[in-house]
Amino acid sequence: MLATLAYDRQRAFPGPAALLPTLGTALVLLAARPGGWVARGLSIRPLVALGLVSYGAYLWHQPLLALQRYASEAPPSVGARAGALLLALACAAASWRLLEAPLRRAQGRSPGRFWRGLLAAALLVGGLAVLLWHSGGWPMRWSEPQRQVLALGERPYAEAYREGHCFLRADQPPAAHAAGCPDAAVDGGLAVWGDSHAAALAAGLRGLAGTGPLRQYTASGCPPLAEAATGLPPNCRAFSHAVGEALRRRPPARLLLHARWSDHAGAVDEAARPAALRALQAALPGTRILLLGPVPRWYPTLPLHLARGPEPWTAATEGPDAGAAADGPLERRLAGQAAAAGVDYRSLRALACPAGPCRQVVGAPGQEAPLVWDEAHLTPEGAAWLARALVPTLP
């Protein structure tokens, strides 16, 4: 129960954190001696019935939740997910009664026939799985224009992010950035600090007139000012410290702080952000610091959203996104934190969604691309479009 209440999505799992629920399970098993109160409690009929179908529920729940996410235009509500779990229990009960129990009885009556049938069924299911995998998930269910936009979500973006040197992976130490990213040795100009979303934005800012030299300080899963954060990838705190030192040695003219802030809500103390911003501004008195809000989001991905829409997908230049309701309060908090620290705030959502609907497709005719390639990471084309809208607003 403690692990259920205390662990969130920022917790590295599996890993050392798996010891707590494992220890809890071991304690339950040790305490469940015949005649004891734990054994009597676990022997009541509802729990026995749940135990009979528990493995089936485990097998059913993931595909049901995956199909629910796939079919929805917005993240399923708590009620919808609870309904899917109840349906998983119902499916598990049905499969136990119609499949598992008859198979158990058949095993005792005719073992040879039982194992031959089981092997045939396993080969059939395995063959279908290999066929679907080899075909790429049955792509013929999509039309050719739909496949084209879906393919844009699978392009290799590591080069645009400059992964491995200016954008560090979770397994890389901060020294990899200092040694491999030429931006670290540039004086002045514009600096970008943040996670993979900041790396995506940097791809659009790079080389844009009016920005000057661009310095990119980005690492996977690491928001800016993360020295005191917990629950982030192992090297985030050290990377944050190293970036702070690099900025003090060579202060930029302007510093953009950007991340998918909602992903780090459980790891970063929002109440401490104004103080961290003030300390950073005090350390960089000649630098204009700007806190950037989140990019619009589409669920589960923008390419899939466009593929499901009317054809041609390139005509859907604007449309509603899935993050407006959740990001509105977040934007207000971020703007308030920036104001309390005396730094500037810029809303990327306001730039992408000036009249309500958000920009979905960018690029000249024949060169169109989605604004983002997954839920919220900018494509290089989307980053360039958004950067052109952002740079004129910079002080």
Q: Which amino acid is at 338?
A: A
- 78 is written with which tokens? 């708590």
- Measure the CA–CA gap between 219 and 162, rounded to whole angstroms: 11
- Measure the CA–CA gap between 241 and 224, rounded to whole angstroms: 10
- Confidence (pLDDT) at 5: 66
- Measure the CA–CA gap between 303 and 310, rounded to whole angstroms: 13
Confirm if 284 and 36 have CB atoms less than 8 A apart.
no
Helix axis angle, 380-390 to 196-205, nearest 10°: 70
Confirm if 316 and 306 have CB atoms less than 8 A apart.
yes
- Measure the CA–CA gap between 242 and 240, rounded to whole angstroms: 5
- Measure the CA–CA gap between 231 and 12, rounded to whole angstroms: 7
Using DSSP, state whether 250 is helix, strand or coil.
Answer: coil
Q: Could you write out the DSSP letters of every residue in 138-199?
A: -GGGS-HHHHHHHHGGGS--HHHHTBTTTEE-TT--THHHHHH-GGGG--SSEEEEESHHHH
- 172 is written with which tokens? 């890389």
Selection from 206, 202, 330, 173 nearest residue 260 by Cα: 330
Give CA 188 to chain center in angstroms: 32
Strands (E) across 293-389 are located at 318-319, 344-346, 358-359, 361-362, 369-370
Which phi and psi (to 5°) does residue 195 adopt? -95, -155
| pTM score above 0.85 | no
- Measure the CA–CA gap between 267 and 226, rounded to whole angstroms: 9
- Measure the CA–CA gap between 146 and 150, rounded to whole angstroms: 6
- Measure the CA–CA gap between 296 and 353, rounded to whole angstroms: 8
- Confidence (pLDDT) at 385: 95
Q: Could you write out the DSSP letters of every residue in 42-62?
A: HTSHHHHHHHHHHHHHHHHHH
- 158 is written with which tokens? 């590591």
**pLDDT tens across the length of the chain (395 residues):** 677 666 665 555 566 777 888 887 787 777 767 777 777 777 788 887 888 888 888 888 888 888 887 776 667 778 888 888 899 899 988 888 887 877 777 766 767 777 777 788 889 988 888 887 777 777 777 788 888 888 888 888 888 999 999 999 988 999 998 777 876 666 778 999 999 999 999 999 987 766 677 899 999 999 999 887 777 888 899 999 999 999 999 999 999 999 999 888 777 888 899 999 999 999 999 999 999 999 999 988 899 889 888 888 888 899 888 877 778 899 999 999 999 999 999 999 999 999 889 999 998 888 899 999 999 999 999 999 999 999 999 98
